[in-house]
Amino acid sequence: MSNRTAKIAVSILMLIGVAILALAATGNLNIEPQDLPERTTRESAATPTPTPPAESSTTASSVEWLRLLPDLVEPPYTGGLRRWPSTSSLPAIRSTDLSVYEGRSLADKPLAGVTVILDAGHGGQDSGTLYPTSPSNPVIVEKDINLAVALKAGDRLRELGADVVMTRETDEWLSIYKRIAIAGQYAVNHFIDELPSYGYKSEAIENLVPLLKDIFDINSDLVSDGGRGFLYGYGSRPEARLLFDIQAQYPEVLFISLHCNAYVGDSRVRGLQVYYQTNEGNYKAATRGAENPAETPPVYTGMDDAGRLRLATALRERILKQLPALKFNGHSDLLIADYAVLRNINLVSVLVEMGFVTSPHDREILLSNESQEKIAVGIAEAVYQYYCR
Ligand SMILES: [Zn+2]
């Protein structure tokens, strides 16, 4: 397939995926998770192929399946918040070798095999932050800037060979937890698809499908109507741990959320900030928030701390290289934060605050098509730096 044909095929498949998502959002279609946009260039690209474990000599056609039984036994309570063991509840079925990306040239589709889930923050009735804050006639509306940059970044990433999944491509509202469910379904669906080729089957993993579908369909950030599903509250329930352990087996998939900042008290505060989460940050946040430690599920400890910091650093470096004027003028532009998209997604997940709508200096940058394009190039180059440098 020529590059052009491949691009068209990818675009058509993405459009079909988006159409299905749109129908699902209006309730006209009973969406199944496998209807989510699939990685379409994976097979055609020189991607790292996970090696089946030695014991899985069984083939997909064999009746002798290896049963995948995750180890989800909660550790006993001994005071304070508990932690899940740092070892995965699952064997490393896919062992993706990221070293195949090292040294690839920018000119040669270096990100073929990589998927980036781009999350344009807010949308629909949720405008995000506004300037001026009165909603009657704002000069700048966060949700629009987020989407404009996300769409441009998606184009730049595809040019580098990456597959891109957009949580939204239009001015639509979706809950934070639906964004999280999109990232969850992506990994779970791929894992279920891949398990047979390694000789495994697992009811435990299939059980996650309806749980994620509920979050997706309910599309609410409330606990009361089930919008947060099994991901509500502090700590991680066994199902959440299983989901996170599955996502941990997809190091070639990233989640990047795009936002704009506001600092109402001081219009001089300006510049780019990048947020990420760590295992320790997650534990501290849960300790602050959990009212009853004995009844709080154990805190997850399997985040890729180094990967998150590395992606956050690359995003800062590469965006500032494109747009030095976005340099933050406060004391820290790399920050640990307890955001739901960082806590409840165990892909390498980072949130970018692209500038302050309260700063006249940043507003000029954020509203400029040319500057948005530069931020998008910076995001794509950061992903390139993350995998290839
Ligand atoms: Zn925001």
Inform me whether the pLDDT recorded for 11 exceeds 50. no
Largest CA distance in the chain: 67
Dihedral angle sign, alpha carbons of residues 375, 381, 385, 389: negative
Condensed to tens digits (0 to 9), the pLDDT of residues 234-267 reads 999 999 999 999 999 999 999 999 999 999 999 9
- β-partners of residue 119 are 257
The C-alpha angle 232, 238, 244, rounded to 5 degrees, equals 80
Cα of 29 to ligand 1 centre, how many Å? 30
Structure tokens at 255: 């989640």
At 59 the pLDDT is 44
Condensed to tens digits (0 to 9), the pLDDT of residues 262-283 reads 999 999 999 999 999 999 999 9
Orientation angle between helical segments 305-322 and 369-388, nearest 10 degrees: 140
The mean-pLDDT minimum among 45-59, 109-123, 267-281 falls in: 45-59
Cα of 260 to ligand 1 centre, how many Å? 5
pTM greater than the 0.75 cutoff: yes
At 26 the pLDDT is 33
CA distances from 345 to 23, 124, 139, 236 (A): 25, 23, 33, 12
Inform me whether the pLDDT recorded for 25 exceeds 50. no
Cα of 24 to ligand 1 centre, how many Å? 25
Cα of 143 to ligand 1 centre, how many Å? 7
Sketch the domain layout of the chain as residue ranges.
Answer: 30-388
Report residue 331's pLDDT band, with 50, 70 and 90 as the boundaries.
very high
Inform me whether the pLDDT recorded for 95 exceeds 90. no
Q: What is the mean pLDDT of residues 287-292?
A: 95
Q: Considering only CA atoms, which of 120, 115, 134 is closest in space to residue 354?
A: 120
Cα of 264 to ligand 1 centre, how many Å? 14
Q: Are 260 and 129 in contact (CB under 8 A)?
A: yes
Cα of 340 to ligand 1 centre, how many Å? 12
Inform me whether the pLDDT recorded for 104 exceeds 90. yes
Kindly indicate whether the domain formed by 30-388 is annotated with CATH number 3.40.630.40: yes
Which residue pairs, CB below 8 angstroms and at least 24 apart, start in 284-289? 285/234, 285/338, 285/343, 286/81, 286/234, 286/235, 287/80, 287/81, 289/234
Inform me whether the pLDDT recorded for 354 exceeds 50. yes
At 21 the pLDDT is 37
- β-partners of residue 147 are none
Number of Cβ atoms within 10 Å of the Cβ of 155 = 13
Q: Which amino acid is at 155?
A: D
- β-partners of residue 140 are 131
Cα of 68 to ligand 1 centre, how many Å? 39
At 2 the pLDDT is 44
At 316 the pLDDT is 98
Condensed to tens digits (0 to 9), the pLDDT of residues 119-148 reads 999 999 999 999 987 777 889 999 999 999
* 3 state DSSP class of 280: helix
Cα of 121 to ligand 1 centre, how many Å? 5
Cα of 34 to ligand 1 centre, how many Å? 29
* 3 state DSSP class of 82: coil
Number of Cβ atoms within 10 Å of the Cβ of 296 = 20
At 49 the pLDDT is 44
Q: Considering only CA atoms, which of 252, 250, 277, 251 is closest in space to residue 350?
A: 277
Inform me whether the pLDDT recorded for 61 exceeds 80. no
β-pairing, 130-131 vs 140-141, is antiparallel
Cα of 73 to ligand 1 centre, how many Å? 37
Number of Cβ atoms within 10 Å of the Cβ of 7 = 14
At 35 the pLDDT is 31
Cα of 14 to ligand 1 centre, how many Å? 25
